[in-house]
Structure 1
Amino acid sequence: MLKKIYVIRHCEAEGQSPEAQLTDRGLEQALDLSEFFSNIKIDRIISSPYKRAIDSIYPLAKRLNIDVEIDRKLTERNLSIKNLSDWFEKLRSTFVDLELKFEGGESSREAMKRIVEVVEEAHSRNNNNIVIVTHGNLMSLLLMYFNKDFGFDDWKSLSNPDVFLLINESNKVTFQRIWK
């Protein structure tokens, strides 16, 4: 059975906090996402508990009359509890060394494990067309899990929102970017 998982990076938001709201442009993007999926069958929607992720998928969930399931494993990766002035370079280094950890944060490997668990659980269910809404860093780590060549520069090129289609055919997962 062919399983499709649509992994979505949230729409444009006002900040990084869990409560950060979508910008006006982000709200329009959420409507665009709903329209984008208008001819695609969706059986299940799973989202990060962050407000920007839930609000990004709400118009689609409402149109399809599907409840949004919240999964804490989809929260954004915490690089460190400290405010890192050189966070961009520190993040780059975690794409090279997946075990690298900064104070109070999680390694790329730990974050990757969380989102892979969500995808594996989704693959094990009877639903064939699933939407997962998450954050850019976590999405990148998931894609790196399935293709080791996906890296920091690919993360940098992601848009808000962004959509990748993961196809699981006979337990072999491939992916492609499908957002316009």
Structure 2
Amino acid sequence: MDTTIYMIRHAESPFIIGQERTRKLSTQGEIDAKKVTAIMNEKEIDLVVSSPYKRAIQTIEGIVVSKNIEVKEIEELRERRLKGAYKLPEEEIQEAIKKSFKDIDFKLSGGESVRDVQNRAIPIIYDLLNKYETKTIIIGTHGNVMTIIMNYFNKEYGYDFWKNTSKPDIYKLVFLRKKLQLVQRIWE
């Protein structure tokens, strides 16, 4: 009795300080979101849930419209808060992310650790697996939270995996009795 979850990482969205929740997709992101819709329209989908962030919702919007399914926004699936409202050089942020997958309690000041994110997101995943066993679910998500969720079920998914994901990206996760059996990249 397999349950399938498609994790759909949002398409390209320009970074704008202070607009983490509201920033939209770029023009290229909108084009790629249409490709995501075309890929997912070939699949039977029972449920669509998403981070409440605009870019995640925009990426899966075409799917919910074409399949006439409502999207349920879940706050616990929001992107990881890496740090407080202060600037750091990009290389320091990258090093902190890398370190956080080795020490899941590590976090920058004002940020969330891998464990913090797992503590809020994994109960949602288990709830979905319990309520929608044998169904197919889409999760509109972000790179860090997606990797952290996958890391909970298989430690192979860490910094290097995250670094090599794209915007957008699609991963098919197949669960059997709440155990991850298969991960397959769908985005090309």
TM-score of the aligned structures, taking structure 2 as reference length: 0.91
Which consecutive unaligned segments of at least 5 residues does structure 2 have? none
Distance in 2 of aligned mates of 1:79 and 1:31:
29
- Picking from 137, 142, 163, the partner of 2:144 is 137
Distance in 2 of aligned mates of 1:126 and 1:95:
29
Aligned length: 180
Distance in 1 of aligned mates of 2:41 and 2:61:
14
Q: Map Cα deviations across residues 66-100 of structure 1 (whole Å, 9 max, x no partner).
A: 11100001111011103222211111111111001
- Picking from 103, 110, 118, the partner of 2:109 is 103
Is 1:179 matched up with 2:187? Answer: yes
- Picking from 119, 122, 130, the partner of 1:124 is 130
Structure 1 residue 173: Cα displacement: 1.2
**2:184 aligned counterpart, secondary structure:** strand
TM-score of the aligned structures, taking structure 1 as reference length: 0.95
**One-letter identity of the residue aligned with 2:88:** L
Q: Map Cα deviations across residues 124-151 of structure 1 (whole Å, 9 max, x no partner).
A: 1136010001110011111111111222
- Picking from 45, 48, 52, the partner of 2:48 is 45
* Aligned pairs (5 A) from 1:30-179: 30-81=33-84, 82-85=86-89, 86-126=92-132, 128-174=135-181, 175-179=183-187
Range 112-121 or range 145-154, more displaced: 112-121
**1:22 aligned counterpart, secondary structure:** coil
Q: Map Cα deviations across residues 99-123 of structure 1 (whole Å, 9 max, x no partner).
A: 0122111111111222222211110
Which consecutive unaligned segments of at least 5 residues does structure 1 have? none
Distance in 2 of aligned mates of 1:131 and 1:165:
9
Identity, % of aligned positions: 35
**One-letter identity of the residue aligned with 1:149:** E
Which residue number in structure 2 is paired with residue 12 of structure 1?
12
